[in-house]
Amino acid sequence: MRVLVAGWFSFEEMGATAGDIMACNVACNWLEKAGADFDVAYAPPFTGGVKWEDTSAVDYSHVLFVCGPFGNGWPITGFLEHFAGCKLIGLNLSMLQNIHEWNPFDILFERDSDQVVRPDISMLSAAPKVPVAGLILAHLQKEYGKRSKHPVANQLFRQLIDKNELAVVPIDTVIAKNEHGLRTPAEIESLIAKMDIVLTTRLHGTVLALKNGVPPIVIDPVEGGAKISGQVKAIGWPLILPVESVNYESLYNAYVYAQTNEARREAIACRDRAVKILHEIEQQFLEALVGQPVINE
C-alpha cells in the first residue's frame, strides 16, 4: 500500500485553512499507525511533500483526499482524472452533491453529506500550542530628539517574531482612531489580560501587562533610558532591555524566560508591590488634599 494524501493544501490559491492542515496531520498519524507508506501533496505557500501534478497514478495504490468542501467541478475533476485507477478515499469532507447522484470515492468517511454528519477530525489534532503575544509598539517620540530609537527597538521585535512561532496580536493603546477598533480602556486592558506575554516599547503596554499578571518583554526605545526604565525599576520587573545594548540574543533569552511560570509569578509580585506603593500614595494625596489623615473603610 502506498498512499498519496491530498487536500485543498495541494492546490495553489484555494484557501487552505489551519483546520485543513490539522486534519491532514491527523490523517497522516492514522496512516502511520496502519504502517502505510505515504506522501503528502503540497502546493505553495506550503512546502515539502510532492506536487500531485508531478506524480503518476501508477505511483500510488490509494489517494486520500482530506478535509473541506468536495464537489463535482474544477479543480477536482482534473485531479480525479489524473489518479484514475487508484483507490479513492474521502475523509472529513463536506459533500456538496447528493451522495446518490455523485460519489467518486471507493471509501468515504465524510464530515457531512445528505446522509450523515460527523465531528471534524481536527478535534484530534495534537499540535502544540504556541505563545500568544500582544505587540504594543510606540511611535517615534519627538520629545526625546535624537535619543528616540523606536524604529530600532520595533525592528528587534519584528526579528524575534520572524524567527519564532508565536501568535501575535497587535494592540493599540490609543483611544482616538484606534488602529484595531478598540474603543475603551476596558476593551484594551481586557485584550492585554488575555495574552501569554507582551512585547512592548510602550509604558502603558508594560504597566497594563504587569497589572494583569502578564509578563512583558520591554525595550526602552529611548537611548540612555527614560520613563519606561524608571517605571520597571520602581517595581522591580527584570525584563527591561535598553535600546542601545539589546541584541537578538538578549531579546530571545527574555522571550524564553517570559514564558515560564517563574516570570508569571514575578509579574504578579511586581503588580502587588506597585499596588502597595500606590495605596500609600493615595493616603498621602488625600491627606495633602484635606489636611488630615483619611481612613479607608
The grid coordinates of residue 56 equal 503518476
Taking only the tens place, the pLDDT of each residue in 35-62 is 999 999 999 999 999 999 999 999 999 9
Percentage of the chain modeled with pLDDT above 70 = 99
Taking only the tens place, the pLDDT of each residue in 103-154 is 999 999 999 999 999 999 999 998 888 999 999 998 777 777 888 888 899 9
pLDDT of residue 143: 77
Q: How many residues does the structure list for the chain?
A: 297
Helix (H/G/I), strand (E/B), else coil: 57: helix
Amino acid identity, position 144: Y
Amino acid identity, position 232: V
- Which residues are within 8 A (CB) of 35 and not within 5 positions of it... i.e. 6 or more apart? none
Taking only the tens place, the pLDDT of each residue in 158-215 is 999 999 999 999 999 999 988 889 999 999 999 999 999 999 999 999 999 999 999 9
Helix (H/G/I), strand (E/B), else coil: 100: coil
Fold identical between 2-124 and 132-287? Answer: yes
What distance in Å separates the CA atoms of residue 176 and residue 142, rounded to the nearest whole number?
20
Look over the chain and give the mean of its residue pLDDT values, rounded to a whole number.
94
pTM of the predicted protein model:
0.83
Alpha-carbon distances, residue 209 vs 130, 244, 270 (angstroms): 19, 24, 11
Domain range annotation of the chain: 2-124, 132-287
CATH topology for 132-287 is Rossmann fold (3.40.50)
What distance in Å separates the CA atoms of residue 30 and residue 48, rounded to the nearest whole number?
20
CATH topology for 2-124 is Rossmann fold (3.40.50)
Closest CA to 89 of 30, 18, 15, 17: 30
Helix (H/G/I), strand (E/B), else coil: 270: helix
